[in-house]
Amino acid sequence: MAYTEDDLKKELETQEYEYGFYTDIESDTFPVGLNEDVVRAISKKKNEPEWMTEWRLEAYRIWEKMEEPDWANVHYEKPDFQNISYYSAPNKKPKYDSLDEVDPELLETFEKLGISIDEQKKLAGVAVDVVMDSVSVTTTFKKTLAEKGIIFCSMSEAIQEHPELVKKYLGTVVPKKDNFYAALNSAVFSDGSFCYIPKGVKCPMELSTYFRINQAGTGQFERTLVVADKESYVSYLEGCTAPQRDENQLHAAVVELIAMEDAEIKYSTVQNWYPGNAEGKGGVFNFVTKRGLCEKNAKISWTQVETGSAVTWKYPSCVLKGDNSIGEFYSVAVTNKFQQADTGTKMIHLGKNTKSTIISKGISAGNSQNSYRGLVQISKRAKNARNFSECDSLLMGNKCGAHTFPYIETKNKTAQVEHEATTSKIGEDQIFYCNQRGIDTEKAIALIVNGFSKEVLNKLPMEFAVEAQKLLEISLEGSVG
Amino acid sequence: MSLKDKLVSSFFAFEESVDVNADVHKVRNQAIKNFEEKGFPSKKDEAWKYTSLNALLKKDYSLFPKKESDIDYNSVKKYFIHDIDTYTIVFIDGIYSSHLSDTTHDKVDACLMSAALSRPKFKPIIDAYFDKIAPKDGLNSLNTAFSKEGAFINIPDNTVSDKPIQIINFSTGTEANLMLQPRNLIVVGENAQVQIIERHQSLTDNEVLTNSVTEVFANKNAIVDYYKIQNDTASASLIDNTYFEQKEQSVCSLHTFSFGGKLTRNNLCFYQKGERINSILKGVTLIEDKQHVDHNTMVHHTQPNCESHQDYKGIYDDKSVGVFNGKVYVDKIAQKINAFQSNNNILVSDNATINSKPQLEIFADDVVCSHGCTIGQLDEEAMFYLKSRGIPPKEAQALLMYAFANKVLSSVKVPEVKKRINKLIANKLNVNLGFDL
């Protein structure tokens, strides 16, 4: 029987979130609710030193006094913070020395996700730290990295084994009182990744973290801290998925990057949390605070591909503190169905001759709303600062919206700031051109969207670029009217 | 007593004394309630993030100047566009000055708001248009509650106003600080045309705070050109709220020239209520010292096949602060929209600040919308070119700045206005180039 258009339509309608499985791993979950005792309990569970417990409690007290912000261009039912469990860990959690000891069921999960650890071990490609329900499960390639002096481990391990580093840097870029979600995260974060690249070391492989929310009714709060010492280089990847659920799940992470003199950090994210079903039910609330600090001659580059989450609210930022430092932000945000995204960046120019580039591509389809919100701030002493921003939006169908809210604040006459934005749809002539050459409309759209996002996708490390391209296609399938 | 309390408590006495028709009374009573509830905007309001009224609101203002001031035409002639014949509507401290004005009821109405609000003849127009498009926020409500005087312009269908119309508000405020609330209503009929020039001028060193509201209605095929010249003294502040409603195929343009004043805030909204409409918003800002100019614009496209063009240029010296907050809003059904927004700025001094926020909110897919914003300096190579040809640095700089602002001037349709603006720019840049720019 021939494959007809109707078949395709049916297939697309039933196209489900590919990563929507749930792994039945016994996990140790706290009862719902949050108070000082819960914070203490989390800390105790993780066997943390006294100073860490105090640090968390302080954050909790700050959080208690804060109000949930509502200025973003997104609408959702606010999560009930007393109805979330703040700690959930896969139960059988002995320390593994080799992969063979890992719970096979867990391994199967990774297999399904396409990040087969076995395979990677063989190919010697990427060192992965997997965070499941906020607890770090495995860290691969630790030994290879250790030879170079690179520390790459889970945050809880870092607190135990490298307290001096954690104590020195944690919360310096994103302070506890920075915002509502950062304070919450500081109080209850359960795990995350810690990475330290010593002076002059170029990290020989891509470091990668993989986040997954598994348990129902839990919030995921991980904390990532990357410190690149003088003249070092590291490229860091982050990926996320979650099972399909009817209720909304909360993800409030904090990522801090510190690039010391002449260091470079490249941070790439492919975010594919469960976006909710076709009626807009369920999905992950993704409220993330990401910020990097650049010292003299340092460079931080954020690349993100955002295709998941019901509500996304994140602004990876760069504080260009040192002279001649560089900040970059490359983003593709795709929203479909009832997704809402309010994302962008902040470039704070403090040092002289600082440079920043912002390339943001927004694609909205279905009933979704996609907003770019960015701030470029040139302070008084930032002589010869330079910024270039470009944000383009692509609209598919007339039920979605694309919005641009750039903020540009300049206090120095030598600054050069440019901002450009356009909004348009895929031209009928473009589709026609493809059709004429035997490319069907669905494929043509994927082709055009890929071309539209090319500038950003090119910035991703190889392995991710391929995956991201596929993700774009999957997210937009069935959105052609 | 805070300014807000003072305003609210003086309302009832004021309302007793004003002669307006009953429906207007109702509107005003509602407005004062609204103002009482909402009050003045604060920095916490997103639209007022970069402009604070606090310092202005702390001062004590006289709300109803008792003494009628008289000024001699020759002493203020320079504030008029006097080299062409115009209708003029002049107010001194918010009170109509008959000897400086030249109003008309012949073919077109260019007269007073007080007359329009009280005379039965104008009741249908007031009922249909008064306080219909200005959003009910604190400042507009305040103005509505105290609306008493201003310009009323009514151009009937199929009529072209034979002369441009000038609206000039002088403030003398000899005895104390002064707060003024002029209210203008401009109704342009089908196929009608009009050109309007508006100016606020303070003649005193005392503080003047003007909260002006203008509503403009352009019916089918109407053409409206509006020019606002803001070159006030360093003690005068202006909050100008102007709202346009356009029907199908109308073309409205508004040029704002902000060269002076202590604090100037321009709230400007265009509501497009038909197809094939064109809205043009342009502005030149050229300020120094501690001046503060804030352009807050909004174009709302509600119907298909329309256009809007925004072009704002700013040059900021000394400790001046410039703000541009533009918004283009495209509704779901408004397909085939072309919307452009551009904001270019030059900072001349190290202490000047520019805050720019060009925003797009788009719900329709078949549109072409773009915005651009730049902040930079004068091109050093161009400077060198001019200098190498014997033009002194100051003049060279002035020439380049003039060229930068010129794009906005090119769409000014009244040659005398263009000439006047050129002169003001030359004055402002303090150069004599020996020829007309």
Are the CB atoms for A369 and A340 separated by under 8 Å?
yes
B231 to chain A, minimum CA–CA distance in Å?
24
Indicate yes or no: CB of A419 within 8 angstroms of CB of B360.
no
Indicate yes or no: CB of B361 within 8 angstroms of CB of A403.
yes
pTM for the full predicted model: 0.81
Indicate yes or no: CB of B359 within 8 angstroms of CB of A424.
no
**Would you tell me which residues 383-402 of chain A have a C-beta closer than 8 angstroms to some C-beta of chain B?**
393, 395-402
Are the CB atoms for A454 and A257 separated by under 8 Å?
no
B272 to chain A, minimum CA–CA distance in Å?
19
* Angle subtended by helix axes B3-17 and B22-38, to nearest 10: 170
CA dist B404 and B378 (Å) reads 9
**Mutation choice for B interface testing from A370, A393, A399, A419 by most B CBs within 10 A:** A419
Question: What's the CA angle centered on B59, arms B55 and B65, to 5 degrees?
Answer: 140
Indicate yes or no: CB of A411 within 8 angstroms of CB of B353.
yes
**Would you tell me which residues 191-230 of chain B have a C-beta closer than 8 angstroms to some C-beta of chain A?**
none
Interstrand relation of A248-251 and A283-294 (parallel, antiparallel or unpaired):
parallel
Beta strands (DSSP E) in A193-298 are 193-197, 206-212, 219-220, 223-228, 233-241, 248-251, 254-259, 264-271, 283-294
Predicted complex ipTM exceeds 0.95: no
- Predicted confidence at residue A1, as pLDDT, reads 44
A·B CB contacts under 8 A: 121
Q: Helices in A3-103 by DSSP H: which ranges?
A: 5-13, 36-45, 50-65
* Angle subtended by helix axes A180-188 and A50-65, to nearest 10: 150
Indicate yes or no: CB of A420 within 8 angstroms of CB of B372.
yes
* Residue of A47 and B139 predicted with greater confidence: B139
| CB-based contacts of B220, cutoff 8 Å, min separation 6 | B190, B191, B247, B248, B249, B250, B274
- Predicted confidence at residue A114, as pLDDT, reads 52
- Name residue A15's amino acid: Q
Interstrand relation of B193-202 and A283-294 (parallel, antiparallel or unpaired):
unpaired
Indicate yes or no: CB of B371 within 8 angstroms of CB of A408.
no
Among the partner-chain residues A398, A409, A416, the one whose CB lies closest to the CB of B376 is A416
Is A380 near chain B, with CB under 8 Å? yes
- Predicted confidence at residue B47, as pLDDT, reads 87
Are the CB atoms for B81 and B412 separated by under 8 Å?
no
Indicate yes or no: CB of A398 within 8 angstroms of CB of B374.
no
Nearest by Cα to B168 from B80, B65, B239, B284: B80
Task: Tell me the per-residue pLDDT of B25-71, one tens digit each, with 9 for 90 and over.
Answer: 888 889 999 998 988 998 888 888 899 888 888 888 888 776 666 78
- Name residue B52's amino acid: S
Of A7-11, B8-12, B182-186, B416-420, highest mean pLDDT = B182-186
Q: Is the Cα torsion angle B342, B285, B292, B200 positive or negative in sign? A: negative
| End-to-end alpha carbon distance in chain A | 26
CA dist B426 and B420 (Å) reads 10
A440 to chain B, minimum CA–CA distance in Å?
21
- Predicted confidence at residue A275, as pLDDT, reads 76
CA dist A242 and A132 (Å) reads 10
Is B155 near chain A, with CB under 8 Å? no
CA dist A447 and A441 (Å) reads 10
Residue B317: list chain A partners with CB under 8 A: none
- Predicted confidence at residue B176, as pLDDT, reads 77
Cβ-count burial B150-182 (b if 16+ within 10 Å, e if not)? bbbbbbeeebebebbbbbbbbbbbeeebbbbbb
- Predicted confidence at residue B107, as pLDDT, reads 85
A39 to chain B, minimum CA–CA distance in Å?
33
Indicate yes or no: CB of A418 within 8 angstroms of CB of B372.
yes
**Low-confidence residues of chain A, pLDDT below 50?**
1, 8, 12-14, 92-99, 116-126, 134, 137, 481
- Predicted confidence at residue A122, as pLDDT, reads 37
Split at pLDDT 50, 70, 90, the class of B196 is very high
- Predicted confidence at residue B270, as pLDDT, reads 95
SS3 content of chain A, % helix, strand, coil (to 5): 25, 35, 40
- Predicted confidence at residue B231, as pLDDT, reads 87
Residue A404: list chain B partners with CB under 8 A: 358-361, 371
For B375, which residue in chain A has the nearest alpha carbon? A417
Is A407 near chain B, with CB under 8 Å? yes
For A374, which residue in chain B has the nearest alpha carbon? B357
For A390, which residue in chain B has the nearest alpha carbon? B372
Is B400 strand, coil or helix? helix
Is A409 near chain B, with CB under 8 Å? yes
- Predicted confidence at residue B156, as pLDDT, reads 92
For A403, which residue in chain B has the nearest alpha carbon? B361
Indicate yes or no: CB of B368 within 8 angstroms of CB of A423.
yes
Task: Tell me the per-residue pLDDT of A98-139, one tens digit each, with 9 for 90 and over.
Answer: 445 555 555 555 555 555 444 444 333 445 555 555 455 455
- Predicted confidence at residue A132, as pLDDT, reads 55
Is B315 near chain A, with CB under 8 Å? no
Indicate yes or no: CB of A415 within 8 angstroms of CB of B356.
no
Interstrand relation of A283-294 and A254-259 (parallel, antiparallel or unpaired):
parallel
Residue B332: list chain A partners with CB under 8 A: 398-399
Among the partner-chain residues A401, A404, A412, the one whose CB lies closest to the CB of B359 is A404
Percent of chain B with pLDDT over 90: 38
Nearest by Cα to A351 from A373, A377, A317: A377
Average pLDDT over residues B157-162: 92
Interstrand relation of B178-180 and B109-112 (parallel, antiparallel or unpaired):
unpaired
Indicate yes or no: CB of B375 within 8 angstroms of CB of A407.
no
User: Which range has the worst mean pLDDT, A388-402, B185-199, B237-251?
Assistant: A388-402
A313 to chain B, minimum CA–CA distance in Å?
17
CA dist B383 and A397 (Å) reads 49
Q: What is the DSSP letter of A30?
A: P
CA dist A41 and A27 (Å) reads 16
The region that residue A335 occupies, defined by phi over 0 for left and psi between -120 and 50 for alpha, beta otherwise, is beta
Among the partner-chain residues B354, B357, B361, the one whose CB lies closest to the CB of A406 is B357
CA–CA distances in Å: residue B207 to residues A212, B66, B67, B241, B322 = 62, 17, 17, 20, 21
Average pLDDT value for chain B: 88
For A375, which residue in chain B has the nearest alpha carbon? B357
Among the partner-chain residues A393, A408, A412, the one whose CB lies closest to the CB of B356 is A408
Q: Residue A100 CB: number of other CB atoms within 10 A?
A: 9
For A379, which residue in chain B has the nearest alpha carbon? B353
B426 burial level (CB within 10 Å; 0-12, 13-18, 19+): middle
